[in-house]
Structure 1
């Protein structure tokens, strides 16, 4: 068994941009998140945790960085499925994972089960999702953006 940790943070897009808000593989009400892909911080942190656990680098090493990268315009679910394929190709399988979203909005509680189901389906193991705020401190506390921290456990396949 191997464990990995990941982190991601993005600022909210201009509300006038009509950019949709994606979080934990689901669309949410409100202004979207800036990023080359859909900006899903929960997914991005989870990707880094999975890749880290398997010793396969990070999201940038797999998808690249920038508007011309392999991840540009991609949705989190497709990115997670690609990561799981990459793990499989290197002899690893996800066992369990946990993601903490840090920010004032959206409120995770009402859709927690749905978000956990979407993440779990994409990864192929149980993924738990929690949320917290920073009590008004920092860019997540002032409502400028969202962050996420994730941990993942993977196993080497026999």
Structure 2
């Protein structure tokens, strides 16, 4: 386990970009997405998709206008789910799988320029086996999120 801040190297942007590029499955949950923040991750997302990875992104309708998703939606194969439910999506969870292991970054950073590079943000980077209780809990939360967002109205692309 390690702490990630934007005032030490590596920043949230660097850690997330590296994890996306090296993982077989990435799930990015951010209540806010801004185009400048997404631009920091687009090269890694594009590389991962080219290498056969699965990328799923969840965000919130009230805080992420469609115009902020243009560059992400331009990448074929990326699943984007925009929650339009009564309960706001406020989660900042970035989850990655490779072989039999997982990594997760959980904290305050949204996918915005400030969240990934310049704001005073704090996240924790966790690693473990998919069989670990924490890995199972994270996958259960992601299943809950998928069901919650999928059960209400969404704007989706893949």
Q: TM-score, normalised by structure 2?
A: 0.30
